[in-house]
Amino acid sequence: MIFNFNVIILTLTVLIELTGSCTILANDLSENPVPISRTAKINASGDQIITTEILLDENTSREDLIHTCRFLAKEEVELTFESLNIRRSFLGIFGKKRIAQATGKIELPNGISEAFQVGGAISFQSIQITYSQDLATNTFAINTIEIID
């Protein structure tokens, strides 16, 4: 009886430790979220330009979206949603959950903002938001918001 009790306690302890370490990794904001990719280039005047691309598509999970918004907020870039409809991919019943409709806005630290609206009766393919930052002057610009239905 004591042996079985010790095995059960040991098993529960290991499972709790594994679950806790996975949770810490999932909430780590120091890593770039999956939807974000960055490139750095030097322009003709020798200034470094960092271009950030945010790609929200059928592979973007709800957790990826939350992580992306929190990551950008730490950099004073606001990606906000007025409305967001997440449903199953096949007739709203089967398949994995994905973004079906979104109405939102991206606002950069210097006050530049642009709104977007995607989706409808049929889910959209992707939203690609690209903005750049000139490190020498610390200025931001929204390059593109591309919506593919």
Contact between residue 130 and residue 114 where contact means Cβ atoms under 8 Å apart: no
Tens place of pLDDT for every residue, the chain, 149 residues? Answer: 455 666 666 566 665 665 554 444 444 545 778 899 999 999 888 899 999 999 998 778 888 899 999 999 999 999 999 988 877 766 556 666 777 788 999 999 999 999 998 886 666 788 999 999 999 999 999 999 998 87
For the entire predicted model, the pTM comes to: 0.73
DSSP 33: P
> How far is C-alpha 73 from the geometric centre of its chain's CA atoms?
11
In 10 A of CB 87, how many CB atoms? 15
Order of strands, edge to edge, in the sheet holding 113-119?
78-90, 94-107, 113-119
- What span, in angstroms and rounded, lies between the C-alpha atoms of 110 and 85? 29
